[in-house]
């Protein structure tokens, strides 16, 4: 029994050595990947307290006006969160003009459901942040409160009925 276990251990050790030699021979010409701008930006975000939630958040929509059709499609490099606020993150090489931020990136924030957009310029070591807040009409806020109140009341009635039954 003991010699069988020793033989098994020896075979495992020989197998590990052969596997490592074959792996070294097969992968000897492979190079380590170069850190690109996205890798540097991701590292910067993580070092500054951002949590990376997703890689590549994509937003698309199509609209029709009479017989003409127009579409919007944009992809964020990352979706990150810090202090409970989520951001669509873009790695850029230059500062983005404010008019472009309003026209081009606002629909992206609405579709992805994030609070704003971060533009990380790794080459110039700067960050540009744009946050959007949507002011809902009073009628829509009241409707949302009544909806939540109806669900709360229904749940309370179910719990009351269940407790009263016992």
Q: What's the pTM value of the predicted model, to 2 decimals?
A: 0.59
Token duo for residue 57: 């958040």
Rounded alpha-carbon distances, angstroms, from residue 114 to 103, 106, 143: 16, 10, 23
Number of domains in the chain: 2
What count of residues does the chain have? 166
Same-domain status, 150 and 122: no
Q: Is residue 3 part of a domain?
A: no
Same-domain status, 155 and 104: no
Contact 87, 79 (CB under 8 A): yes
Provide the pLDDT for residue 34. 46
Q: Which 3 state secondary structure label does DSSP give 90?
A: strand
Q: Is residue 156 part of a domain?
A: yes
Same-domain status, 83 and 115: yes
Provide the pLDDT for residue 32. 46
Longest dimension (CA), the chain: 85
CA 125 to chain centre: 22
Provide the pLDDT for residue 25. 63
Provide the pLDDT for residue 26. 64
Same-domain status, 51 and 122: yes
Which residues sit opposite 127 in a β-bridge? 120
Token duo for residue 66: 């009479």
Q: Is residue 11 part of a domain?
A: no
d(CA 42, CA 52): 8
Provide the pLDDT for residue 147. 93
Q: Is residue 17 part of a domain?
A: no
Structural domain of residue 51, as residue ranges? 37-131
Q: Is residue 141 part of a domain?
A: yes
Token duo for residue 115: 């609070």
Same-domain status, 44 and 95: yes
pLDDT in tens, the chain (166 residues): 667 777 777 788 778 878 777 666 666 555 544 457 788 888 888 888 888 887 777 777 788 888 888 887 888 888 899 998 899 998 888 888 888 888 888 888 888 888 899 998 888 888 888 888 878 788 988 999 999 999 999 999 999 888 888 6
Provide the pLDDT for residue 15. 81
Same-domain status, 127 and 140: no
Same-domain status, 102 and 53: yes
């Amino acid at each position: 029994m003991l010699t069988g276990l020793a033989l098994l251990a020896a075979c495992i050790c020989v197998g590990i050595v052969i596997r490592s030699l074959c792996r070294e021979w097969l992968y000897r010409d492979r190079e380590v990947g170069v850190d690109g701008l996205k890798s540097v930006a991701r590292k910067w975000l993580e070092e500054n307290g951002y949590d990376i939630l997703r890689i590549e958040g994509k937003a698309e929509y199509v609209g029709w006006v009479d017989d003409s059709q127009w579409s919007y499609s944009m992809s964020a490099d990352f979706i990150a969160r810090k202090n409970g606020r989520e951001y669509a993150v873009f790695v850029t090489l230059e500062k983005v003009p404010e008019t472009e931020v309003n026209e081009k990136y606002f629909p992206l924030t609405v579709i992805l459901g994030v609070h704003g957009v971060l533009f990380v310029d790794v080459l110039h070591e700067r960050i540009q942040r744009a946050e959007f807040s949507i002011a809902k009409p009073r009628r829509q806020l009241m409707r949302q409160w009544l909806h939540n109140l109806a669900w709360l009341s229904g749940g309370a009635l179910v719990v009351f009925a269940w407790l009263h039954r016992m």
